[in-house]
Amino acid sequence: MKLDRILFFIAITSLMIACKKDQSVKDQIDQQEQNQEVTEEKFDYVVEQFADLKILRYQIPGWDNLTLKEQKLVYYLTQAGLSGRDIMWDQNYRYNLTIRKALEKIYTSYEGNKSDTNWKAFETYLKRVWFSNGIHHHYSNDKIKPEFSQDYFSSLLAATGTEVSKEVYEVIFNDQDAKKVNQAKGIDNVAQSAVNFYGPGVTNNDVTSFYSKMKSPNKEKPLSFGLNSQLVKENGELKERVYKSGGLYGSAIDEIIKWLEKAKEVAENKAQGDAIGLLIEYYKTGNLQTWDDYNVAWTAATDGNIDYINSFIEVYNDPLGYRGSYETIVQIKDFDMSKKMSVLSENAQWFEDNSPLMDAHKKDSVVGVSYKVVAVAGEAGDASPSTPIGVNLPNANWIRAAVGSKSVSLGNIIEAYNNAGGSGRLKEFAHDDDEFELEEKYGQLADKLHTALHEVVGHASGKLNPGVGETKETLKNYASTMEEGRADLVGLYYLMDPKLQELGLVEDWEKTGKAAYDGYIRNGLMTQLIRLNLGDDVEEAHMRNRQWVSAWAFEQGKKDNVIEKVSREGKTYYNINDYAKLREIFGRLLREAQRIKSEGDYKAAEELVEGYGVKVDQALHAEVLERNKQFTSAPYSGFVNPVLVPQTNEADEITGFEIFQPKTFEEQMLWYSKNYNFLPEVN
């Protein structure tokens, strides 16, 4: 599970392949030096901005401290990740690869007027599609609307000799498949979601009926049915198309396997190598028991400086929460910060014992929670360009209970956000100078601690009642937002606890906690609305959870005026009058959220999410959008990846690496499309 990539931004306001191709590595590096911007002493974090998006860069601290063997491991893992990049595109929508290739052909071969507004609109559309790994917005799930006409697009197709089918042409402009993931209440969410996890004609009832018949060999260790497949109808019969070598996405998976085998050869230790070996076996067979075996081995492999996430993992893009999106993150341990923050892992049982959960829902023994601050060295799939800032895996509840989990905070990503942001939006929406000054002084630390508490303590806490099924089965389309809200609430509850100061994590627990509470309420009730079009409901799981947590807390505190809604000079603000009572409210909501999960209470989840997390106060939304117009900084950010270029000797052995920073967003996107193009347009 991942901490939302947008939350942090709002709160604080493989280029070369080891084998030789048409030219030598030296020639490749020479060419790259012409096209890439070498990192300067003063690092430039911002690449460019367009539409509602800002593209950033990040550095890789600690790279020079790695041995050559460790650097090879990082390189091979990043190559494995990029090899599966196009899987994410196809998973997002069945026509994405066809559309991307047509758009890129136009972009690289058009020789007409490139200074007029139509061409600029085409460029922006392509960049937005690149950013979202498809034609649906990465966050709102709405289909991205071109700001150029069909006639103009037809002229580009003709001028460049680009051909697309009538259906593909029309879907770019019409209202078909308008939502990638449609979580609305009272509809057939599968049938009305464009995401390519399900074939035409598959319905909610088909999915639940199909998987209700599947039984795990060990009911105490339920397999993740549906995680690595597409469910389709063939001659009226439901059938899984499994992601594996020789199966769906097999050509890209074979490339992933190739690089993972190289990574296994340079593993830092046996446990790490054995885990990579199991991942390879999983990719070869698609066997879900092997997936669980891999996760157990991967969770236990905590030694070493390098770690990674790779496969079909998060289920947010599935309206029913079964199927995993392809993603990969390659990580280098930040030794100093990990040592400081490991105290959370060491005290995980204390947090569990002292939480407001019902005793029946507390774990008697919180096992194997490892926490590291890491530096990202490369990302792909669902983690790129838009990236999380924290991750806690594996997702299977039984593995968390029996073996534990790994939690990481992506330190260099957070640093890049810190250095690329501004304080103007904070000044506009903060209630007063005290709130602004608290955020300026304590906000960054509060955000880091909330990330850590969310991932380490939050996702690891609580347990299901005996006999209750996995959350995706019981809470269905509300499972993701309920889990993220529950983890947020754990973090919020403990951010106002003197225990954090006792553990040496803060100098002033009360002021840090106040900054965290101010930021969360301000964002949950107001500032996150800048990412919605006026009139829209809240759809995305993390946005929903921040709103239902904040709105429920606001309502519960009305009698005692815990959170005051202030109107001043036609502007709305939220001011927390009693932080201690708000903490108590968060505790009560955490207790209820855990009860809902533990008991599998779908009706209560529906009432909580639909009652507080979906609908938007339209007058307030219009006001927020109007107040936000003065700011040029885009509400969403994402990243280009640093480029690892191997140096080789005459025997073609890798002797070292150079790191280059992409100069432009399109440069990296076009390079990826050219060099990691392992899938056909139709799969």
Residue 630 above 80 pLDDT? yes
Identify the pLDDT of residue 226. 98
Collapsed DSSP state (helix, strand, coil) of residue 532: coil
Rounded distance, CA 48 to CA 51, Å?
11
Confidence of residue 3 (pLDDT cuts 50, 70, 90): low
The confidence score (pLDDT) of residue 471 equals 92
Contact present, 548 and 528 (Cβ < 8 Å):
no
Asked whether 193 and 181 are in contact (CB, 8 A), the reply is yes
User: pLDDT per residue over 641-660, tens digit each?
Assistant: 999 999 999 999 999 999 99
Two tokens at 510? 């009360």
pLDDT in tens, 551-577: 999 999 999 999 999 999 999 999 999
Q: Residue 37 pLDDT more than 70?
A: no
Please give the structure tokens belonging to residue 2: 């991942």
Residue of 145, 308, 328 lying closest to 252 (CA atoms): 328
Write down the pLDDT at residue 4: 61
**Above 90 in pLDDT, residue 293?**
yes
Lowest-confidence region among 12-21, 48-57, 315-324, 384-393: 12-21
pLDDT tens-digit profile of 408-460? 889 999 889 888 866 688 999 999 999 999 999 999 899 989 988 998 899 98
Tens digits of residue pLDDT in 155-196: 999 999 999 999 999 999 999 999 999 999 999 999 999 999
Helix (H) or strand (E) holding 294: helix 288-300
CA distances from 381 to 103, 146, 313, 385, 409 (A): 20, 24, 11, 8, 19
Nearest Cα residue to 614 out of 519, 481, 429 = 481
How confident is the model over 590-599, as a mean pLDDT? 98
Look at residue 494 in the predicted model and tell me its pLDDT. 98
Higher pLDDT, 152 or 4: 152
pLDDT-wise least confident of 117-126, 454-463, 581-590? 454-463
What is the spatial distance between Cα 132 and Cα 617, in angstroms, rounded to a whole number? 28
> Given this model, what pLDDT does residue 335 score?
78
Give the tens place of pLDDT for each residue, 212-251: 999 999 999 999 999 999 999 999 999 999 999 999 999 9
Q: Where are the alpha helices (DSSP H) in 54-165?
A: 68-83, 85-92, 96-109, 117-132, 150-160
Per-residue exposure over 274-298, b if at least 16 CB sit within 10 Å of its own CB, e if not:
bbbbbbbebbbbbbbebbbbbbbbb
Bridge partners, 234 (sequence order): 237
Cβ atoms within 10 Å of 322's Cβ, excluding its own: 25
Angle, CA of 343, 346 and 352, to the nearest 5°? 110
pLDDT, mean of residues 106-135: 98
Write down how long the chain is: 683
Q: What is the pLDDT of residue 2?
A: 67
Q: Domain coordinates of the chain in residue numbers?
A: 424-632
Query: Does the pLDDT at position 25 exceed 60?
Result: no
DSSP β-bridge partners for residue 409: 373, 390
Please give the C-alpha separations between residue 119 and each of 98, 105, 110, 145, in angstroms, as whole numbers: 20, 14, 10, 15
Q: How many CB atoms lie within 10 A of CB 445?
A: 18
Q: Which residue has the higher pLDDT, 603 or 365?
A: 603
Q: Answer yes or no: are the C-beta atoms of 224 and 347 closer than 8 Å.
A: no
Q: What pLDDT is recorded for position 421?
A: 67
Q: Is the dihedral of CA 623, 627, 629, 633 positive or negative?
A: negative
CB-neighbour burial class of residue 203 (10 A; exposed 0-12, middle 13-18, buried 19+): middle
Question: Residue 605: left if φ>0, alpha if ψ -120 to 50, beta else—which one?
Answer: alpha
**What does the pLDDT read at residue 43?**
92
Q: Does residue 19 surpass a pLDDT of 70? A: no
Q: Give the sign of the dihedral formed by CA 222, CA 223, CA 226, CA 227.
A: positive
